[in-house]
Amino acid sequence: MKAKTFLFGLLILPFAAASCVNENTDDCDTYVGGRVVVGVQDKNYDNVDLFTRAALVDPLDENLPLSSYVTSLYTWDNTGTQYKSFQESMSRTATTHTLNPAIFVDGVNNVAVIGNETTAAANYSSSNQSIALHPGGVEYNDVYVGAKQITFPTDDDHSIMLQRTKGMLIVDFNPDNVPTDLKSIAVSIDNVYASVTPALVYSGTTTVSKSVDMTTTGFVPVRMVVAPTVTGGQSTLTITITSTDNSTSVIEDISTTIERNHITALLQEWDAVTGGWAIKQLLGDGTWSTIKTLDLI
């Protein structure tokens, strides 16, 4: 049976269902004036149905708590060049989160919220208001961002809906054709964005790599959350297949495109007679199309 990805999400409920954070109490009613409520917009990937039919991904339940989907929140405000960072604690049951208004100064605030970011202070650049998506060229987290300009004090309620910054890349196997001496699979993809602002403006380019040791995990797909391919271009994948005797087969120049909040799936098929490999991509009509071959004879 194929391994499946389980994606976690939530349904945004009315403001009354939101959690609140205050130095002394969790009671929303202690806040004076309007509230700033954070929720999640991208709960499932936009094309998740296609991959559910292909038995690669299970759709998520959209009624889960916020903390099941976004495990941390960092919030920034600014007046001119001044930046302040806060790690917001969250209720384990609420489906939205209300920011503590005490963190905001009077006047215009460019409120920035980043979710699923564990080291935001290190990865966030206040000079250009951007956050690194793949620090060190690794997969890193499924980062979410949201932004809104709000003038404080305010009597109005405001909402900030977090959006996923990356897509998902799946490199799977044909389960009927897997070498018995398979040791590891390494995937590298280039020409993807390096950073993003809380307003979802991308910049820079980088290459991302991930390796999976099949001797400990078994024959499982390689799954990566990857920033989108740079607009107007294509990304190139390199797949390195290592056997238990440390010999390698390298499949290069595999062209594909990663889109924000979309899944891209490739299938590796091994030919037991020739020892060669074929790489197929799942198309929108549910069929697999060969896009690259490696013939070892």
CATH number at 115 reads: 2.60.40.1120
Q: Which helix (H) or strand (E) holds 248?
A: strand 248-256
DSSP, collapsed to helix, strand or coil, labels residue 223 as: strand
Which two structure tokens, joined as six digits, stand for 2?
């194929």
Handedness of CA 136, 141, 142, 143 (dihedral sign): negative
Number of domains in the chain: 2
| 210 lies in the same domain as 73 | no
| 93 lies in the same domain as 130 | yes
Q: Of 95, 129, 164, which marks where a domain is finished?
A: 164
Phi, psi of 242 (to 5 degrees): -110, 135
pLDDT of residue 226: 98
Q: Contact at 8 Å (CB) between 182 and 277?
A: no
| 155 lies in the same domain as 179 | no
pLDDT of residue 280: 92
Which two structure tokens, joined as six digits, stand for 260?
């924000």
Look at phi and psi of residue 283 and say left if phi exceeds 0, alpha if psi is from -120 to 50, else beta.
beta
Of 12, 199, 14, 28, the closest CA to residue 101 belongs to 28
pTM confidence score = 0.84
| 37 lies in the same domain as 85 | yes
Q: Contact at 8 Å (CB) between 270 and 179?
A: yes
| 18 lies in the same domain as 148 | yes
| 148 lies in the same domain as 206 | no
Of 63, 60, 66, the closest CA to residue 6 belongs to 60
| 86 lies in the same domain as 69 | yes
| 93 lies in the same domain as 182 | no
The whole domain housing 88 covers: 5-164
pLDDT of residue 112: 86
| 231 lies in the same domain as 275 | yes
CB atoms within 10 A of CB 265: 23
Residue ranges in the chain whose pLDDT is less than 70: 1-33, 78-87, 89, 119-122, 124-127, 296-297
pLDDT of residue 78: 62
Q: Of 164, 192, 209, which marks where a domain is finished?
A: 164
Q: Which helix (H) or strand (E) holds 281?
A: strand 277-282
pLDDT of residue 18: 41
pLDDT of residue 121: 56
Nearest-5° angle of CA 63, CA 134, CA 259? Answer: 60
DSSP, collapsed to helix, strand or coil, labels residue 123 as: helix
| 27 lies in the same domain as 139 | yes
| 160 lies in the same domain as 202 | no
Q: Per DSSP, what are the bridge partners of residue 87?
A: 74
Residue 192 exposed, middle or buried by CB count within 10 Å (0-12, 13-18, 19+): buried
pLDDT of residue 57: 85
Q: Which residues of 104-166 form beta strands (DSSP E)?
A: 107-115, 124-125, 130-132, 144-152, 158-164
Q: Contact at 8 Å (CB) between 63 and 92?
A: no
CA 270 vs. chain centroid, Å, equals 29
C-alpha to C-alpha distance for 168 and 163, rounded to whole angstroms: 14
Radius of gyration of the chain (CA): 22
